[in-house]
Amino acid sequence: MHVTCTKAIVEATLGWLRQAGQSRRECVALWLGRRGAATIDVMDAYRPEQTAEIDMFHIPPRGMTELHAVLRQRRLMVAAQVHSHPAEAFHSKADDRWAIVRHEGALSLVVPHFASQTTTQDFLSHTKVFRFTATSRWQEIPEAELSRSWLTIT
C-alpha cells in the first residue's frame, strides 16, 4: 500500500536522527498513520523509548508497551520505521532482528550518516527504502519506483 508523508513529519524525524547522531548513536522513529482506501497517510512521527549504539537500536518492552498504548488511543498504525546509520544506508542484520514492522509491504527507511547530510528536499534520494516481502525478507525499493508505487513526500 502506498504511504504518504508530509515534509514537516520528515523534518521532525530528521531532527531526532541528527540529535542522536551527534552522540554517535543510531536512532529509530516510527511514522504513525491511518489506512485509507488506497494509501496509508502518516499522521505523526513518534520516537519510542529506545537504547542505541553506533550500529544498532532496540526498543525495550516498556517502549513497545507505550507504543501500543499510543496506537490504541489514537487509532493509528505503524506506517513505517525510519532509522539512521553512521555511514552508508543498508538493512543490516541488526536492523532485520530489531525491525518493528514485519507485515508484507511494511517499509523500513535507512538514512545514512546519522542524517547529517540529508534534508527534506533530498530525503528520498539519500534514504534507502526497503519493503518486507511475503518471503520475510527486506528488499530494497529502487528510487525510481518509490514515488510511483510506495512512498510520497508531500
| Every domain of the chain and the residues it spans | 2-153
Question: What residues have CB less than 8 Å from 8, skipping those under 6 apart?
Answer: none
pLDDT at 96: 83
> 2-153 belongs to which CATH class?
alpha beta
Cell numbers that stand for 65 in this block: 508497551
The strand order across the sheet containing 2-5 reads 138-141, 128-132, 107-111, 77-84, 28-35, 39-46, 2-5, 151-153
Give residue-wise pLDDT tens across range 122-143.
Answer: 999 999 999 999 998 999 999 8
Within 10 angstroms of residue 137's Cβ, the number of other Cβ atoms is 11
pLDDT at residue 97, rounded to an integer: 79
What pLDDT sits at residue 95?
84
What is the CA 15 to chain-centroid distance, rounded? 13
pLDDT at 144: 86
User: DSSP secondary structure string, 19-32?
Assistant: HHHTTT---EEEEE
User: Residue 146: what pLDDT?
Assistant: 83
Q: What is the pLDDT of residues 79-119, one digit of tens each?
A: 999 999 999 999 988 888 778 888 888 899 999 999 999 99
User: pTM of the entire structure?
Assistant: 0.93
pLDDT tens by residue, 47-84: 999 999 998 898 999 999 999 999 999 999 999 999 99
What kind and span of H or E run contains 43?
strand 39-46
24: left (phi over 0), alpha (psi -120 to 50) or beta: left
**CA 87/CA 146 separation, integer angstroms:** 22
The SS3 assignment for 45 reads strand
Q: Which residues contact 109 (CB under 8 A, 6 or more apart)?
A: 80, 81, 82, 83, 127, 128, 129, 130
